[in-house]
Chains A and B, each alone.
Chain A
Amino acid sequence: MIFRGDYIMVRVINLLAAILVLSAIVMPALADEALKRELVEQVCEVRLPVLARYQELSLMHKQILITLQTLPEDQITKSTKEWTNIAAGSDGILVKFDKINDLASKDDSQSHKTAISDAIGLKDAISSLEGYKQAKDNFITFYPGIALQHFFTDQGVYFETLAANETETHRAIAYYEDALNAYREAEDITKTTYIDLKVKELRSEYLFDMEAANESLTIGETKFEDARYGINCTGNPVSVAIGILASKRSERELTTVYKIYTKHGDERAPQIGEMVAETAIIHSKLVNVFLKYAAVSVALVIALLAYMLSLIFRWTHAVEDTLLGNEVIQ
């Protein structure tokens, strides 16, 4: 009986083992099949413009697809789903890259700046993808890095061109800084060097010019106020004379400011231009007033001079008469 009991027990254990084995084989197989379908179709549905723009991403997409299609079903695991989602999921590297590319396709520097910062953020996703052996073994991790490098180079070129065509110096500097950032991310040492030099050069020149402009502007504005005072107090010839000198100085200083602002595309240039024109008008008005004063003064001086000369003339005759009288007396 003991022997028979053992036999039944063995049968039961065998049966349970068989059920376990079967369930282990069948159930995951069904699950994996569904997962494989989901992943392959999900990746196949990825048809993004960025794939045509960056060949590396197209290769990455193909590599993911062929990897998933050829992976045996028992190797399609939760981990496979994770790295597939990181690479080609709805918020994966390809989709993010597409959004970045979309931003970078716009003719708007702010979008490009956002694209660069987003692209820098993409490095984290690429790093996390490298943590999956299956992805790494199938060379999927290699492509996005190269694509990113090309993307940064493209952005560097974009900002460099934008800066070269920009008339406003401080904006051009900002664009060159963005280009520098992009080239640095692209690890292009020569371009980084050139743009770094360009930024420093431009900034130095700009600061120098702005320093001069600020000094001239301060003087120009002060003198402009003096000139205005002169035009407001035309009854006072001294104020008029001071106004003429102030307006002349103001015109000179403001013209310097205007030239600097124009050179650097500063938006204040037209305003300064108007001030220069106004200064010229004030100057001419003051000169007119002054000429009137001058005419009256000259007339008075001439009259006084004539009177003085007549007195001297009379005094000279008197002296001569006196001397002649002395001689006659002697």
Chain B
Amino acid sequence: MRKAVFLFIILFVFMQTAQADLTVSGGSCTIKELDGSATVTLTLTNTENKSITVYAPSLPSPKKGITLTAPDNYPITLSADESKNVKIEVHITKTVNMGVYRADVYFGDRIATITIDVDRPTPAHLAPLQNIEIKDPVVFDKPRKEMESTGFKAESKFQIANDGDLAMTIKSVAPYGTPDAGMTFNVNYPAKISNQSADTATLTITIPVSAQEGKHQGKLRIDCGKAGLQTITVSVTVEHAVKFEMSAYPSNFGRVDILKSAPLTILLEETLGYKDISTVKIRRDETSMGDGKDDWMSVDLPASVISKGGSVPLTFTLRFRGETIVGRTYRWDYYLSHSAGNATITLRATATPIDIEETKNMLQTLEGSDNSDISSIAGKASGMLSSGSAGSADDWAALASISQASVTFLEAMDRALGRVDEDDHVGALNDLLIARIAVDTMQKSAKTKSQTAICTASNNFVGGALQAESAHFEAMASDANDDRTRIIAHRYVATTYGLLNEPEKSKKSRETAEEYISAYNQKIESANDRYVDSEDAIRRASDDLYRWGDVKLLVNPFVYDSTSYRYKFAINETDAAAEEYKMAGESDLCNTTASRADELHIQWLFLVSQFLMLMVGYILLFAGAVIWCVLAFMAFTADSREEEFGDVVLLS
């Protein structure tokens, strides 16, 4: 570079020296042709007294389309004071507008000016147009569905120039060929452009939502008829935006029963519909203070890519495990990352005891009970459970224990009272037993004032019922005339005293019951044996009786003694059994047995009476036979005597 500058300076100095005394005249020409030429003659004069050498001039074009040429042979040597004409040919093309142009001709440092008069108009001409490139990318940042009908639009203004000397009419500006990606071009352009001027056209590009990300091109043809036709390239760049959204979700699971699964689904969505969200990942945020255990919360993210316009469900399933402290609120923080950004999900849940909801529902049902005590206690327990969100885990444990025990207690009391109404005191006592245990459970757990109030009300309620039952069974025991009633009464008295926390009385009653059980068993054993023996005796007696159809008759006098003995034995045993049943307290058996004794007695009376009648018949028959025999013998004797007498008479 330095060398070139140095050489230029040397040459410049040399030329200055060489043409120091040269004069050049100016010239002019007029061209009327559209594409024409003219020759201008310039005179070179050497004013020096020595010859000089003139080199070929430098002929810069004054305007595009005007070219100057020097047809002479150079170098020309001019001797001292010599003048020479040289020719400069001027040529214009049809693009050169009408007007006067000045062209400088350089002979070394001497300048000659040629005035070129272009004396004709040029036709309208569409000046060359630049390709359009929209630099700012078109960002698809509105939902695809919303933009489906309209597409995205980009606008660009460009100049259409007429460098002719006549007005230019624009015939059309329209897409040429098929633009990429289904783009459409719409151009708002001027109809006419006056000479030597330009006007603005507005190009609106409509890009459909289906266009891929990247650079898209299309061609635009500007047709100005004879003034020219040009096709330019329109380039536009499309960029797809993504929008990540999470569906609304409650950050708090609320109260969750231990060991019950509570699912929570959050929908992860890409809402624009142009581009997938990739590398979706979720992990526990270990930096946070979340105290919920990992294995209590399962996280299910079925895909790591959310397809454009699609969604992926993110499911959290909470299941408090057995070691969970009831009543405590636990927290989990999750860090969700993806190609479109990050998010943090915080979840909370309070552990409640197993089946607490069921307990709540049951308490609400019991609130509607007709019994005012049951309704009142159920109301209190239900209220306590509903408002029991605050407090420590221990408080919650107490609350859960009391509410569950309340349900057991109230249901048992409801049944017990129903049974008392039906006079089923034994059944009622079984339920009171359950109720008592439930109250004791409540009392062990009661901590707050409201819990103590529930326990007190429940205790009074069951206490009253137990006192009533105790009195009933005491009266039953004292009025009892038989072992069974005494046993039952004393057993239940023992139970009621036990439930009323009077162990001494309970023990005494139980011992008394045991004594009566022993006596009862003896009587029953004996009575049953007697009854069976009596029936056996009757069967054996029946075996000796004569059956006449369904009627049994004692016809054989030889079995009278055994039958009599058996019947009398059976009647006595049955009577004794009935008496023992009565003493034992089995009234039904006593009645049945007594009836059987009466029946046997009647049977025996019937047998005896029919036997006596039969015996009388036997005697009468026997006596008749004897009399008949005697009479017959007497008649025979009389006949014999008469025969003998006849024989004697006859013989005599």
Contacts and interface: CB of A to CB of B under 8 A. Distances in A.
B369 to A, nearest CB: 19
Interface string B513-553: 00001001000110011011101100110010000000000
B322 A70 contact: no
A307 interface: no
A139 B440 contact: yes
Given A69-B258, A69-B326, A190-B484, A201 B535 contact: yes
A200 interface: yes
B531 A189 contact: no
Contacts of A66: 353-354, 400-401, 404-405
A33 interface: yes
Interface in A49-83: 56, 59, 62-63, 65-66, 68-70, 72-73
A291 to B, nearest CB: 31
B487 interface: yes
A230 to B, nearest CB: 29
In this complex, which of A56, A62, A197 has the most chain B Cβ atoms within 10 angstroms of its Cβ?
A197
Interface string A160-196: 0000000000000000000000000000011001101
Nearest to A212: B543
Contact of B536 (A189, A208, A212): A208
A22 interface: no
Contacts, number: 99
Contacts of B529: 200
Contacts of B444: 137
B611 to A, nearest CB: 23
A116 interface: no
Q: What's the dominant secondary structure at chain A's contact region?
A: helix
Contact of A197 (B404, B445, B589): B589
B586 interface: yes
B323 interface: yes
A44 interface: yes
A146 interface: yes
A34 interface: yes
Interface stretch (A35-43, A97-105, A238-246, A293-301): A35-43
Contacts of B354: 40, 44, 65-66, 69
Interface residues of A, number: 37
Interface residues of B, number: 44
Nearest to B521: A189
Contacts of B520: 189
A193 B397 contact: no
A38 B321 CA distance: 9
Contacts of B433: 142, 146
Contacts of B583: none
Contacts of B531: 197, 200-201
Interface in B453-496: 484, 487
Interface in B323-361: 323, 326, 353-355
Contact of B322 (A44, A59, A139, A200): A44
In this complex, the member of A56, A63, A73 whose beta carbon has the largest number of chain B beta carbons within 10 angstroms is A63
A232 interface: no
A320 interface: no
Interface in B366-413: 394, 397-398, 400-401, 404-405, 408
Given A69-B397, A70-B353, A189-B517, A33 B532 contact: no
Nearest to A63: B441
Q: Find the residue from A65, A69, A138, A201 having the highest chain B CB count within 10 A.
A: A69
B155 to A, nearest CB: 67
Given A200-B528, A201-B532, A70 B589 contact: no
Given A37-B322, A41-B322, A59-B434, A200 B532 contact: yes
B437 interface: yes
A197 B444 CA distance: 48
A62 B440 contact: no
Interface string B436-448: 0100110011000
Report whether over half of chain B's contact residues are helix, strand or loop; otherwise say mixed.
Answer: helix
Contact of B400 (A63, A70, A137, A204): A70
Contacts of A212: 543
A62 B408 contact: yes
B556 to A, nearest CB: 18
Contact of A36 (B322, B434, B445, B487): B322
A139 B437 contact: yes
B267 interface: no
A73 B532 CA distance: 63
A314 B258 CA distance: 130
B326 A70 contact: yes
A205 interface: yes
A204 B397 contact: no
Contacts of B186: none
11 contacts: A40-B258, A41-B322, A65-B354, A70-B398, A70-B445, A193-B586, A197-B531, A197-B589, A204-B532, A205-B535, A208-B536
Interface of A: 33-34, 36-41, 44, 56, 59, 62-63, 65-66, 68-70, 72-73, 137-139, 142, 146, 189-190, 193-194, 196-197, 200-201, 204-205, 208, 212
Given A193-B528, A205-B535, 19 more contacts: A33-B323, A36-B323, A37-B323, A39-B322, A40-B323, A41-B321, A41-B322, A44-B322, A62-B355, A68-B322, A70-B445, A139-B441, A142-B433, A146-B430, A189-B520, A193-B589, A197-B532, A201-B531, A204-B535
4 smallest beta-carbon distances between A and B, as pairs: A40-B322, A37-B322, A70-B397, A37-B323
